[in-house]
A and B are shown apart, each in its own frame.
Chain A
Amino acid sequence: MADPLHAPAPAAGARVPLLDVQGLTKRFGGLVAAKDITFQIRAGEILGLIGPNGSGKSTVMQVIMGLHRPNAGAVRVVGVDVAGWPPHRIARQGVGIVFQHSRPLHRQTVLENIMLGLLPDKLLKLVANRHVREKARQIAERVGLGAVLNRKPSTLAFADLRRMELAKAIARDPQVVLVDEPFAGLTSGEVHAFAQLIADFRADGRAVLLVDHNVKSIASLADRVFAMYLGERIAEGTAEEVTRDRTVRRVYLGGGIDIVSRPTRPARNAPLLQVEDVSVLYGKAQALERVSIHVDQGECVAVVGLNGAGKTTLFNAISGLVPYSGRIGWDNSDLRGRSPAAIARGGVVQCPETRELFGEMSVRENLDLAGQHLTEAQAAEQLEWLYDLFPRLRDRERQTARTMSGGEQQMLAIARSLMMRPKLLILDEPTLGLAPVILEQISNALEQLRNTTSITVLLGEQNVTFALPHADRIYVMEHARIVWEGEPSAFAAEVAATYL
């Protein structure tokens, strides 16, 4: 292969794998976050660990680092089983981690932040050895921070902060490097530079684990890819093999893509929601870049994109939960300056990906709470209608929300949003991690909403198969930007091939 990032790994031969994960299982209460996960990484090899949100990939990484204690299984670092060790001992055994979010020491310079990684864990270290400073300088230069050594982290660009995290992680010369979402928040030019730095780790003979949402972002770098879903291994192989894998495609796209032609709508209605040139920064990471979308009265618009593309950020900007630049128009007014509560009362109701149910309250209490702004008669009527829409909720009226299944919780979350009588319902990833039978029920409820009410819907989905049949129009998001807009019927021909 001509790709310089794909330089052949040094002959690993029959040496012990630097990282050997065997039968790793981690439960949080009743939830099995990782089940019987087994993989090895040899010296000079990069393994990509992928899976959508909630798949357990981050849990696996955290267990390797010792941030969680596994319920079963072994984690061998250069042959030594470190499962259950505290993180600082695992770090000293030879594991380094590059966190997704950097939390530098703000009063210290870049050089001092890197020096931290070089200090011994001793209490009587009142004076740093001369070589520590020199070594920190070398590492900084290696990752491209040579020009900003004496600056404070708060003055650095986002990419340089990430470089500093890389520098800290390799300061102790770890055999195994774990990298969480290596390219999140970076521009395409920076992505290339980072890929080169990570490729250098491979050339050094380290074992590298890249954790990311999807194959696409790490395909050019990873020697092998291990895909997870709902805590289990679903595929393993080269990036190409994993992308082609049927289970992987079903998880990300939801099976074969149906093209359902919707009844054609009458001439365009006035736009109800108008998002113009909206950008959002998380600290210094670009989470949304000049996004413009519009949703017309009575329309169902789907924004599809892989996890991390920026869908939730877009919805949070609309709901007033994150600061943004640009303009968001709503019903002939401007949403800027309004509090999230005022926006929700004004008719823009979001049903968030994380559901945000009041776990200790019953189904009925959760719904009553959302109906606080209605008169008693309105609330009773709305409740009756919702119970007809989701009969399961009527049966579970007295049950505590926390104890319900994921699917039931999702229904409750949608019902609670509808209880507020929205004009625009924003549904963020309603199908995340749900079984097919539940998916069908939610799908039916959405269909019923379309046919019997005038509620406008803005749907955010990774699962294209779920989104397509419901949508009048589709936007595709990638890397913080809208990259395609069109009718569902055009999706398969124009973008489906490059979506994963």
Chain B
Amino acid sequence: MTDTIRALLTSRSVWIALVVLTVLSTLPWVASAYILGVLTIAYYFGVFAMSWDLLFGFANEVNFGPTFLIGSGAYAAGLLNAHGVPMWVCLIAGGAAALLGGVVLAVPALRLTGPYFGLTTLVAVLLLQQFIIIFASSTGGEIGLTMNDILSTEAITNYWYALGFMTVCGAVLFTLSRSPVGLILQASGQDRIGASALGFNVVKHKLAAFCISAVFSGLAGAMMVFYLGTASVGTVVDVSVGAQVIIAAVLGGRRTIVGAAIGSIFLILAGEALRPLGQLSTFVVSGVALLVILFFVDGLMGLLLRRREEP
């Protein structure tokens, strides 16, 4: 136990995260409601990206469809709320729905090797999207679904909800990644044969990682629609949303968890800062992300961690 605590305290990632969190917690006193709103979205994206990094960075499986899990959570919560179910039940149901969807998807998909797992997850997103559009009478189709409840009308309250949520999720995912099961998961991801020769059931560990990733994604998706007040394909299901999650995680630094959240905040803030460029802003942000991925494969956290942790 003490070893784990000591490892956490000596980890540079933890200190970077604490510094960033301290800065972020002062913002409600200095930043405008508009900036707080942008960051609120960024924090939910941070949870999406951290969940995704658990799969990509640790289990070494590329989930091309993070929005399958996010969307399942968001729509499950939204549909229940539309039928008058209380918000906190809907949130739990969102996490559970994503878990269920994730298991149904991952159990057959994890038996496949190579790029096929990724392709399966991509197809799953398209299926979910079509499902929502076909059953437009209850899901709101392409227009979206309006919630009965919302988290809060106050920008500052929403900001604290999102920041707290991201911090808790991040702490859980980070601790998990540094624990013995995280070690086994990394071994399973990096060397399937080697890990199984050491007696580890690789499929079991990867499936567990997928389930954890699904619960956090679904829960974050549900939180986000209760913040926005609507659930729509364009915000929680579309493939381009998934692409943004992936870019954020890779940009922030693979296999760091903390980096995924920082990458999300950076990506969403950059998108907003460049909004005056109009259509060009997406282009510029994508271009920068591409350059970082091509030339700094370890991402932003990689740059911060390099000096001390790699002698």
Interface residues of A, Cβ cutoff 8 Å to B? 65-67, 86-88, 91-92, 96-97, 99, 103, 105, 107-108, 112, 115-117, 119, 121-128, 130, 133, 152, 155, 168, 171-172
> Of A96, A103, A126, A172, which one neighbours B181 at CB under 8 angstroms?
A126
Asked if A121 meets B175 with Cβ closer than 8 Å, knowing A88-B196, A91-B199, the reply is: no
Asked if A88 meets B176 with Cβ closer than 8 Å, knowing A99-B194, A105-B186, the reply is: no
> What are 11 A-B interface contacts by the 8 Å CB criterion?
A66-B196, A86-B201, A87-B197, A88-B201, A91-B198, A105-B187, A107-B255, A121-B201, A127-B1, A127-B180, A128-B180
User: With an 8 A cutoff between CB atoms, is B200 at the interface?
Assistant: yes
Asked if A126 meets B175 with Cβ closer than 8 Å, knowing A67-B193, A107-B255, the reply is: yes
In the assembly, what is the distance between CA of A117 and CA of B187, in Å? 10
In the assembly, what is the distance between CA of A87 and CA of B193, in Å? 8
Within 8 A of A (CB), among B277-311: 309-311
Q: Is the CB of A91 within 8 A of B197?
A: yes
Interface of B is mostly: helix
Q: Is the CB of A119 within 8 A of B190?
A: no
Q: Is the CB of A105 within 8 A of B199?
A: no
Q: Is the CB of A126 within 8 A of B197?
A: no
Q: Is the CB of B199 within 8 A of A127?
A: no
* Minimum C-beta distance from B118 to chain A (A): 22
Q: Is the CB of A92 within 8 A of B199?
A: yes
Within 8 A of A (CB), among B154-196: 175-176, 179-181, 183-184, 186-187, 190-191, 193-196
User: With an 8 A cutoff between CB atoms, is B77 at the interface?
Assistant: no
Q: Is the CB of A172 within 8 A of B183?
A: no
Q: Given contacts A88-B200, A127-B4, could you give 6 more A-B pairs where the C-beta distance is less than 8 Å?
A: A65-B197, A91-B199, A119-B183, A123-B204, A123-B208, A128-B3
Q: Is the CB of A123 within 8 A of B181?
A: yes
In the assembly, what is the distance between CA of A66 and CA of B201, in Å? 13
Q: Which residues of B contact A126 (CB under 8 A)?
A: 4, 175-176, 179-181
> Of B184, B309, B311, which one neighbours A119 at CB under 8 angstroms?
B184
User: With an 8 A cutoff between CB atoms, is B205 at the interface?
Assistant: yes
User: With an 8 A cutoff between CB atoms, is B99 at the interface?
Assistant: no
Q: Which residues of B contact A99 (CB under 8 A)?
A: 193-194, 197
Q: Which residue of B lies closest to A125 (CB)?
A: B180
Q: Is the CB of B194 within 8 A of A125?
A: no
Pairs A-B, 6 closest by C-beta atoms:
A91-B199, A87-B196, A103-B191, A88-B196, A126-B179, A125-B180
Q: Is the CB of A103 within 8 A of B199?
A: no
Q: Which residues of A contact B187 (CB under 8 A)?
A: 105, 116
User: With an 8 A cutoff between CB atoms, is B202 at the interface?
Assistant: yes
Q: Which residues of B contact A121 (CB under 8 A)?
A: 184, 199-201, 204
Q: Is the CB of B198 within 8 A of A172?
A: yes
Interface of A is mostly: loop
* Minimum C-beta distance from A109 to chain B (A): 11
In the assembly, what is the distance between CA of A103 and CA of B201, in Å? 18
Q: Is the CB of A86 within 8 A of B196?
A: yes
Q: Which residue of B lies closest to A128 (CB)?
A: B180
Q: Which residue of A lies closest to B209 (CB)?
A: A123
Q: Which residue of B lies closest to A96 (CB)?
A: B197
Q: Is the CB of B179 within 8 A of A127?
A: yes
* Minimum C-beta distance from A129 to chain B (A): 9
Q: Which residue of A lies closest to B201 (CB)?
A: A88
Q: Which residue of B lies closest to A93 (CB)?
A: B199
Q: Which residue of A lies closest to B184 (CB)?
A: A119
Per-residue CB contact flags for chain B residues 1-34 toward chain A (1 = under 8 Å, else 0) read: 1011000000000000000000000000000000
Q: Is the CB of A168 within 8 A of B198?
A: yes
* Minimum C-beta distance from B58 to chain A (A): 11
* Minimum C-beta distance from A136 to chain B (A): 12
In the assembly, what is the distance between CA of A404 and CA of B196, in Å? 36
> Of A115, A117, A152, which one neighbours B310 at CB under 8 angstroms?
A152
Q: Which residues of A contact B190 (CB under 8 A)?
A: 103, 105
Q: Which residues of B contact A86 (CB under 8 A)?
A: 196, 201
In the assembly, what is the distance between CA of A99 and CA of B191, in Å? 11
Q: Is the CB of A97 within 8 A of B197?
A: yes
In the assembly, what is the distance between CA of A91 and CA of B198, in Å? 6
* Minimum C-beta distance from A154 to chain B (A): 8
In the assembly, what is the distance between CA of A127 and CA of B183, in Å? 11
Q: Which residues of A contact B196 (CB under 8 A)?
A: 66, 86-88, 91
Q: Which residues of A contact B255 (CB under 8 A)?
A: 107
